[in-house]
Amino acid sequence: MEKIKMTTPLVEMDGDEMTRILWQMIKDELLLPFIDLRTEYYDLGLKHRDETNDQVTYESAHANKRYGVAVKCATITPNAARVEEYDLKEMWKSPNGTIRAILDGTVFRAPIVVKGIEPCVKNWKKPITIARHAYGDVYKASEIRVPGPGKAELVYTAEDGTEIREMIAAFKGPGVLQGMHNLDKSIESFARSCFNYALDQKQDLWFSTKDTISKKYDHTFKDIFQEIYEKEYKQRFEEAGITYFYTLIDDAVARIMKSEGGMIWACKNYDGDVMSDMISSAFGSLAMMTSVLVSPVGNFEYEAAHGTVQRHYYKHLKGEETSTNSVATIFAWTGALRKRGELDGLKDLMSFADKLEKATIQTIEEGKMTKDLALITTIENPTVLNSKDFILAIRENLEKMM
Ligand code: NAP
Ligand code: MG
């Protein structure tokens, strides 16, 4: 059989621990036998990040901007324990944070729906995608533990020295204070990423904030979305037969619970953090989620939503068998390959991505799965496979489709 051709390389960002092991297995068993795989390889494994003073992370993000599509393996975000474990020169920043800052995007996470892994919410028939704004708010806030009586004000000083002051509270005793911010530019790119993604997926877009209470902060988010929608997207949404819908976050939560699913739900940074964990656990597990970072100019970085599965890696190092779920990592590859195919007009590559996803889902629906899924499936007597055998079972199904 002739291998499927590629014309532009994917930016390949390798990673750490158990997911690095899965990464190689996926390439060896599911990609290289079928595709003339072209990638520009960046080793984001912690050791190599340390050797290059994290330059490799920056270079990989800039390559993503040049080529448009990247696929990323999970990586360690170092903490004190990792600094010791890897004898690091520095506690390097989160690679995801670095890449996000360079691409300036929004993260979209959607559950991978499989028969036999049923959502806890009975009426959810279609996946719900969370679009999480990845800049500012409480994640970039300043805080004060107020020791006792005193006055707290919000002060903005313009470059010419003029001030705007707003009274926060007159403290009669101890308390807490927090100051947070966001930027029009970041909110605008968040909005455009969401509108573009909705058009790409042909799904309705919902957006929710608490604008009735936060009349300036959250209201600005609402206004920016509305303005960009009217000016740039309304017509395209109508042509695509999809809708944009704004509502209060509490109303959105109530409606989502009663819905059939199938929409993209745009959330501010904190809301998106919380709601994506709710959605993923209600649909099954983090290993059954797709995750893609979309930049406002249309660069894509596909990844798994989970981490490097450290506990399994240590078992692997001791020579013990692991049963680690590779679905999210496989779907990172298929997402990237399909997007590359779409941009380069390579139908065979797109169709290969579809087949690999189908083969993966079919394998699980036949009752062959990793341990994490076997614990939650409604399929009776599932066959629990180890990490490698699960990938080999997918290969068997894939070969039948090719
Ligand atoms: P994790 O790697 O997501 O794993 C947490 C637990 O979830 C695992 O111990 C395992 O449970 C289960 N799990 C996650 N993915 C699984 C899979 N594919 N198959 C089967 N079980 C899976 O999170 P962590 O242990 O908190 O973090 C480990 C490292 O990952 C950290 O260094 C962190 O910095 C990094 N991280 C990276 C990313 C990223 O690059 N996108 C995201 C998050 C964390 P059991 O042990 O019970 O089997
Ligand atoms: Mg979280």
3-state secondary structure the chain: CCCECCCCCEEEEECCHHHHHHHHHHHHHHHCCCECCCEEEEECCHHHHHHCCCHHHHHHHHHHHHHCEEEECCCCCCCHHHHHHCCCCCCCCCHHHHHHHHHCCEEEEEECCECCECCCCCCCCECCEEEEECCCHHHHCEEEEECCCEEEEEEEECCCCCEEEEEEEEECCCEEEEECCCCHHHHHHHHHHHHHHHHHHCCCEEEEECCCCCCCHHHHHHHHHHHHHHHHHHHHHHHHCCCEEEEEHHHHHHHHHHCCECCEEEECHHHHHHHHHHHHHHHCCHHHEEEEEECCCCCEEEEECCCCCHHHHHHHHCCCCCCCCCHHHHHHHHHHHHHHHHHHCCHHHHHHHHHHHHHHHHHHHCCEECHHHHCCCCCCCCEECCHHHHHHHHHHHHHHHC
Residues in the ligand 1 pocket, defined by CB under 6 Å? 74-77, 96, 286-287, 303, 306-311, 324-325, 372
1-117+290-402: what CATH class?
Answer: alpha beta
Residue 347: pLDDT over 80: yes
More confident residue, 370 or 277: 370
Residue 136: pLDDT over 90: no
Q: How far is ligand 1, taken at its centre, from the CA of residue 79, in Å? A: 15
Nearest alpha carbon, ligand 1 atom 6: 309
Residues of the chain with CATH 3.40.718.10: 1-117+290-402
More confident residue, 138 or 320: 320
Nearest alpha carbon, ligand 1 atom 1: 307
Look at residue 104 in the predicted model and tell me its pLDDT.
77
Q: How far is ligand 2, taken at its centre, from the CA of residue 272, in Å? A: 8
Ligand nearest to the CA of 304: 1
Residue 11: pLDDT over 80: yes
What's this model's pTM, rounded to 2 decimal places? 0.89
Chain segment 234-256, per-residue pLDDT in tens? 999 999 999 999 999 999 999 99
Q: How far is ligand 1, taken at its centre, from the CA of residue 185, in Å? A: 33
Ligand nearest to the CA of 322: 1
For residue 227, name the pLDDT band (cuts at 50, 70, 90).
very high
Mean pLDDT of the region 102-117: 89
Residue 82: pLDDT over 90: yes
For ligand 2, an ion, list residues with CB under 5 A.
Answer: 273
